[in-house]
Structure 1
Amino acid sequence: MTVPSSESVPSLAGLRGMPEARQRELGYADTLREILQQPATWRATAGSQGAAFRTALDHALGGRPPQVVLTGSGSSVYVGEALAPVLQAELGIPSRAIPAGDLLTHRAGVLPGPEGLLVSIARSGDSPESVGAVDAVLANAPGWRHLVVTCNAHGRLATRYASEARVDVIVLDPCTNDRSLVMTSSFTNMLLAGSALGATRPADGAAALVERVFDVYADALAAIAAGERDTAVYLGSAGAYGAARESALKMLEMSGGDTVTLAESFLGFRHGPMAWLNRGGVLVAFLSGDAGIRAYESDLLRELNAKGLGATRVVVGQDIDPALVGDGGLSIDLPGLYALPPAQQLLVHTVVGQLFAFFRCLQLGHRPDTPSEGVLTRVVGEFTLHEGGAA
């Protein structure tokens, strides 16, 4: 595979400064705008949680559900994987993520119990399995309440259940309904909105840190993306594993499959997936803000040093030991990261993954707004929903 030299892709400032017509010609205008708008949209999402927003959340949580299930498809279920550990810790209610497709095909085997709160997360709200899963649970598990978090006021998830008392809907600002095929600001804003089930907090700190990532670290990420590497591994613990899964998907999507990806937990990485590093490539590590968890994560990275497993590393955290990064790696050291609420730390990790994939996409000569044309579409097309299949 031939990768253009690092000089062939401008700096972030250069990309931002190109005329919009040129940005569209190169196929990155929407994706770059949507990545860069995230700090402003987070401030708006956190600040817009007024009466209607809070009423929907309180109604959904009314009577304190015995359990919470977060569902969606693709990136949207990774929002759920990121949120579930955070919500369980803050609410004291068992919380888990289940793909909408599993609810559609294996509802009886995966839906945990006769009642709870099902949170459906969807950028467009028009994916067939997302709507089909809600329909099936409403019809067959009437004890479940529903909360929809979406970026599209006109999608079926937002409009279909207007007369259904068991369903509450939160619609985010229209600018979060990303036009790019890949989800960026929609992902992080739905994560932030969903985190308000636990506690509502301003997002100014997370916004400021991501602005620092743009200003200080973006071009270093671009330089690593320019290397002759065709694999990328992402590691995270608990909610950060959801961020790792999303980051791996962004790289796979935006590189058109030319960069093969893997996401794993730090502790799970020893149990076979560590063999992946024989391929070289890049390892992206999202370090936890919990000192006890971070000790396990640091031990794993030091073990890789001892074994001479030399993938180039991008390590995201605070007060990062240089030994965890290694030669030729990138330490994205962000003072104040661990003072953020747990869900907002995940926003920062996710944006690093987005930027890395964006630069890799350009280096490979692909178009970030429409990667894998003819294979992927912004909204999954209609397909037949079959009867049965709920065992």
Structure 2
Amino acid sequence: MTEDLWTAREIAQQPDVWRALAGSLGADQGRIDAFLAPLLARNDLRIVLTGAGTSAFAGQILAPGLTRALRRRVDAVATTDLVSNPREHLAEDYPTLLVSFARSGDSPESLAAVQLADEVLTDCWHLILTCNPDGRLYRTTSGSRSLALLMPEGTNDRGFAMTSSVTSMMLAALTVLGGRHDIALLADVAAAALPDLAKRARELAEDHADRFVYLGSGLLTGVARESALKLLELTAGGVVSYFDSPLGFRHGPKSVLTATTVVVVYLSNDPYTRRYDLDIVHELRSALPDGQLITVGCRDDAEEETWSFPGLGHLPDVAVAPVLLLAAQHIALATSRALGLSPDNPFPAREVNRVVEGVTIHALDQ
């Protein structure tokens, strides 16, 4: 495998990986229920979703949807925030389930977050979602207060950026915490859409836009944030990227627009929220040249969607979020290649690393 093929392969493998995930979760249902059912039955349980970078954004995407599904408090707190400020983010000593998203399980903050939560909180349980059986987080987390779930083989992305890893962990968390979803349907729709996504992304990259803006409402703001990061990572900062919500964008950030800006708007499946998404779409149509406004959605009958995943319009946004991320992954991949970079290794001088380096974890003063 050459240095320019892993990322493309890992994007393309996601439908198959998701199907494998559904099978493994089904086979492990007894162990999962034995751990989670007593916790979720507690009315005083706080759920905290944590991770760093893309893994943190996974939590930001899932938290609103899980709050709505579970009708309980679910917070997204990045490990990078939790580790530096544990007494703020864990100030309320509630019984807590800390859900850790970790591709490698070797990031210093991922390990420290687990340790700090146990140190600061009286009652803390851990759900570990990881892609690396050799990672320290997977190997060292054990006992009655912990459950570690390993994602299917191949999800520990060898490419620089997280692709199949993050969508698999998101679907795993959504399934075990938020109820069963039709992962097979998501996989089928994604598989059918991937060839067209690749073609559209290549055509878009040929225009050599110098900045991208991603917009999404509610939990789709998290999708927009991850989309912006993916482009920034795979182009080694060569293309400026920005994210916001459609309503928030008008309050100053709209200043980022230029004649060479591409705007991607994720359209919500929620009929009420979707009105606000379409308002900014109609506004931007008159401000941007043809071809520089892209809408991504899942409604079968929607003329507003230029990049579509038909057949998923009946699902909540949290369920389709992993599918929507495929569009951003392809845009980042194609743009990276158009700039003459290797998507698998956009930082050959190691200015930025696949697993973060150089972090010192300091002991918590008592």
What range describes the TM-score normalised by the shorter chain of this pair?
A: over 0.9
Q: Which amino acid aligns with 2:324?
A: H
Q: Which range is displaced more, 37-46 or 141-150?
A: 141-150
The offset of 1:120, in angstroms, is 0.6
Report if the CA contact (8 A) 1:118-1:147 is conserved. Answer: yes
User: Equivalent residues in 2 for 1:53-202 (5 A)?
Assistant: 53-56=29-32, 58-64=34-40, 65=42, 66-111=45-90, 113-114=92-93, 115-162=95-142, 164-196=143-175, 197-202=177-182
- Post-superposition shift, 1:32? 0.9
Q: Deviations over 1:300-335 (max 9, x none)?
A: 2112235x244812211125765x57xxxxx11232
Aligned letter for 1:305? R
- C-alpha distance in 1, partners of 2:249/2:21? 35
Which residue pairs with 2:310 in the alignment? 335
Query: Cα distance, 1:264 vs. partner?
Result: 0.8
The CA deviation at 1:112 is: 5.6
Q: Is the 8 A contact 2:127 2:146 kept in 1?
A: yes
CA contact (8 A) 2:220 2:317 kept: no
Shift of 1:59: 1.3
What's the CA shift for 1:30? Answer: 0.7
What is the SS of the residue equivalent to 2:179?
A: coil
Check conservation: 1:158, 1:169, Cα contact below 8 A.
Answer: yes
The counterpart of 1:364, out of the listed 335, 339, 361, is 339
Q: Which runs of 5+ in 2 are unaligned?
A: none
Alignment of 1:344-383 (within 5 A): 344-373=319-348, 374-381=350-357, 383=359
Alignment match, 1:269: 249
In the alignment, the residues of structure 1 paired with residue 118 and residue 29 of structure 2 have an alpha-carbon distance, to the nearest angstrom, of 22
Q: CA deviation at 1:168?
A: 1.4
Q: In the alignment, which residue of structure 2 is the partner of 1:218?
A: 198
Tell me which residue corresponds to 2:363. Answer: 387
Task: Return the letter of the residue paired with 2:335.
Answer: R
Deviation of 1:198 (Å): 0.7
Partners of 2:141 and 2:318 in 1: CA distance: 29
Q: Which amino acid aligns with 2:272?
A: G
Shift in Å at residue 57 of structure 1? 5.2
Identity %: 37
**1:185-334 alignment, distance < 5 Å:** 185-196=164-175, 197-278=177-258, 280-306=260-286, 308-310=287-289, 312-317=292-297, 318-319=299-300, 331-334=306-309
CA distance in 1, matches of 2:156, 2:197: 26
Equivalent residues of 2:190, 2:309 under 8 A apart: no
Q: Tell me, yes or no, if the aligned pair for 1:222 and 1:360 is still in contact at 8 Å.
A: yes
CA distance in 1, matches of 2:212, 2:365: 35
Distance 1:281 1:208, change over 3 A: same
What is the rounded CA distance, in whole Å, between the counterparts of 2:89 and 2:63 in structure 1? 16
Q: Contact 1:45/1:189 (CA < 8 Å) preserved in 2?
A: yes
SS of corresponding position for 2:228: helix
Moved more, 138-147 or 59-68: 59-68
Gaps of 5+ in 1: 1-19, 326-330
**Aligned residues: CA RMSD:** 2.0
User: 1:320, 1:98 → 2: CA distance?
Assistant: 37
AA aligned opposite 1:34: E
Q: What are the Cα deviations for residues 243-292 of structure 1, in whole angstroms up to 9, with x where unaligned? A: 11111111000001001111111111111111111363111111000111
Per-residue CA deviation, residues 313-365 of structure 1 (Å, 9 max, x unaligned), is: 2211125765x57xxxxx11232121345333111110110001000000000
Relative contact order higher in (CA < 8 Å, ≥ 6 apart) = 1
Moved more, 153-162 or 374-383: 374-383
Kept after mapping to 2: 8 A contact 1:71/1:118: yes
Distance in 2, Cα, partners of 1:241 & 1:41: 25
1:208-247 Cα offsets, whole Å, 9 max, x none, are 2222222233212211111131101111122222211111
Distance 2:29 2:137 in 1: 16
**Cα contact 2:98–2:127 (8 A) shared by 1:** yes
* Pairwise CA distance, 1:369: 0.6
Report the equivalent of 1:8. none
